Amino acid sequence: MLNRTILVVAPEKYAKQARQLAHQINKKEDFNNAVFWTEKHYQDNEMQLTKDNLIIFIGDAKENKFTKDYIDLIKPVHSDGGICYGYDQNKAFVYADEKHFDSSTFQIIKNLYDKSSIKDAWPLLLPMGPAIFVANSIRKMFKEHRSIANQKELATAAAVQLLLDKGWNQWVNQQAG
């Protein structure tokens, strides 16, 4: 078991997703110490952290001031359809960039839904309720151009899941080396 703390740092807007992400990480075989921190908690304790602390920032540069601080230093690994995640050293970020939402945004979310592993992460993907998990509901939401804020929350949740599904092992393994 790796003896490192994983901090999920998010604004209050994404507190639910951050807590659920920490829970999902704690279920992984080699991790049992993932916690949610608010931006203030992180700022108050930042100077005591070491390279052994893995940190995930949720929210774009307007939503999370720490994403803003690191966004120019950490190149996104995935940014298709405005669903973004990236990592470097002990820091990672996940966010949605509504300026880049397009037809691939829905397809990425639908593909995540269609994967069987997504059943374990329903709470991560959509804090707006289980009914929206149905692919047609998601499609309808995008087609009807519901508020960009709802679309952004959905896409941010998808970015969280993509980091877990596709980027997690590579990010964590670069830390072990």
Q: 56 - beta bridge partners?
A: 8, 92
* Residue 176: predicted pLDDT: 64
What pTM did the predictor assign?
A: 0.78
In order along its 177 residues, the chain shows pLDDT tens digits of: 456 789 999 999 999 999 999 998 988 877 778 999 999 999 999 999 998 899 999 999 999 999 999 989 998 899 999 999 999 999 999 999 988 888 888 788 778 767 644 445 545 544 444 333 444 445 555 555 456 667 888 889 889 988 988 999 899 888 765
Domain that holds residue 52: 1-177
Closest by CA to 13, choosing from 55, 67, 52, 51, is 67
Give the pLDDT confidence score for residue 147 in this predicted structure. Answer: 64
Q: Are 39 and 66 in contact (CB under 8 A)?
A: yes
For residue 175, give Cα distances in angstroms to 11, 54, 74, 92, 130.
26, 9, 15, 12, 35
The total number of structural domains that make up the chain: 1
Q: How far apart (Å, rounded) are the C-alpha atoms in residues 23 and 79?
A: 25
Residues 13, 20: Cα–Cα separation, whole Å? 13
pLDDT of residue 11: 96
| Sequence letter at residue 73 | L
